[in-house]
Amino acid sequence: MLRTVQQYLVCQPTGALPRIWGCGEKAWNCWVLLFVSLALFGCGFESRRSTTSLEPTSAGYPEGTITLLAPANPGGGWDQTARQLQQVWTAEGLLGVPVEVVNRGGAGGTIGLADLVTRYRDDSRMLMVFGQVMLGAILTNNSPVLLKETVPLARLLSEYEVVAVPPGSPYGSLPELMAEFRRNPEGVSWAGGSAGGIDHMLVGLLAQAAGINPSRINYIAHSGGGQAAVAVMGGHVTAGVSGLGEWKGHVEAGRMRLLAVSAPERVGDGMVPTIREMGLDVAIANWRGIVAPPGTDTDTRDWLINALSDLRESEAWQEILRENEWEDSFLTGSDFDDFLRQETATVDMTLRSIGLVR
């Protein structure tokens, strides 16, 4: 039996076969191979244990390094937020400890969330950037891990959404575009980020406000705002939706035209009208914040919230908000918890109307 298996594996019909598969006289070779790989596996586990065994002291917190988990690949909004936080914290020395950023991208941030909840439980030096998009992703992906398990710290910033069209588009204003949308909902293609994300939800809300069945929208999902921008700039879609900061450069370069912004009032230089001005009662913002892993005690939580408040007060952070066209929407404590509950309900409702969540 063993011999047959051996013959199958090594393609040797007959003849000299090793006594032990693969390991004959030169068995040490295989042992080297085995030990090196085992050692590596061991290292992987060992280093993890050493980070979790350092218990934070409630008085002198933090000890060691604070790690910011960006649940996205480099270049996106969450990654940018994490890196800007790191920059301010490091440059201003607000925490007194080193800060590092790790990326754990994919699936609307739910992979990072799963990591935080399962692997970094009780390790309150691992903080994660999260935001509106994650709420949607948890619902559409049927994520087994829920945000409820984490300890929310603060909402840091909000970014408004914009509706844009290619430079050669026949639609000069949002009402013109919406008129076509009403006439032929499927004929208007909308480019934006991941399915069920904030971009998708804005289109759903626009449809609802205009009396169009949201399940009829023709949404073309892309893996990021950059890809969606190419679809708009090349004129491959009717319109596109993304964050104001992300598409600002393309608008300045004349490669796309803004029709409206999703803010309650005009922002920046006030050149772009709001959606509300156009007679549609829609205003949403893509917000981002910070959560701590499950098991973070109250002392540590309060310490971290204080640290985030200090950060918010700093001139360096305010400068970063201005540069990126991010709104300062700092919110903590029970207000933030209430906001999260309410936001989760809104997201759930919107996604159900689009038909992404059943």
User: Which residues 115-134 are close enough to bind other proteins by CB under 8 A?
Assistant: 115
Least Cβ distance, residue 302 to other proteins (angstroms): 28
User: Interface mask (CB under 8 A) for other proteins, residues 231-260, using x and -?
Assistant: x-xxxxx----------xxx-xx-x-----
12 vs 342, which CB is nearer to other proteins? Answer: 12
- Span near other proteins by CB under 8 A; candidates 4-12, 172-180, 268-276, 285-293: 4-12
Out of 4, 53, 142, 298, name the contact with other proteins by CB under 8 A: 142
User: Interface mask (CB under 8 A) for other proteins, residues 33-52, using x and -?
Assistant: x--xx-xxx--xx-------
- Span near other proteins by CB under 8 A; candidates 77-85, 203-211, 261-269, 328-336: 77-85
Q: Does 269 bind other proteins (CB under 8 A)?
A: no
Out of 66, 94, 101, 263, name the contact with other proteins by CB under 8 A: 101
Least Cβ distance, residue 284 to other proteins (angstroms): 18
Q: Could you tell me the two tokens for 157? A: 């910033």
43 vs 179, which CB is nearer to other proteins? Answer: 43
- The three state secondary structure string of 201-244 is HHHHHHHHHCCCCHHHCEEEECCCHHHHHHHHHCCCCCEEEEEH
Q: Does 107 bind other proteins (CB under 8 A)?
A: yes
Q: Does 74 bind other proteins (CB under 8 A)?
A: yes
Q: Does 22 bind other proteins (CB under 8 A)?
A: yes
With beta carbons less than 8 A apart as the criterion, state whether 181 and 207 touch: yes
Residue where the block lists tokens 């992979």: 111
* Three-class secondary structure of residue 151 per DSSP: strand
Q: Does 54 bind other proteins (CB under 8 A)?
A: no
Q: Could you tell me the two tokens for 3? A: 């011999």
Residue 119 CA to residue 113 CA, distance in Å, equals 10
4 vs 298, which CB is nearer to other proteins? Answer: 4
In the chain, the amino acid numbered 313 is E
Least Cβ distance, residue 114 to other proteins (angstroms): 4
* The dihedral sign for the CA sequence 258, 261, 265, 268: negative
CA–CA distances in Å: residue 126 to residues 68, 129, 322, 333? 6, 10, 27, 19
**Which residues pair with residue 155 across a beta bridge?**
289, 331
105 vs 264, which CB is nearer to other proteins? Answer: 105
Number of amino acids touching other proteins (CB under 8 A): 87
With beta carbons less than 8 A apart as the criterion, state whether 189 and 237 touch: yes
Q: Does 108 bind other proteins (CB under 8 A)?
A: yes
Q: Under rule CB under 8 A, which residues in 316-335 are in contact with other proteins?
A: 323-324
Give start and end residues of each alpha helix (H) in the chain.
2-10, 27-53, 77-92, 110-118, 132-140, 174-183, 198-209, 225-233, 244-252, 298-313, 315-323, 333-354
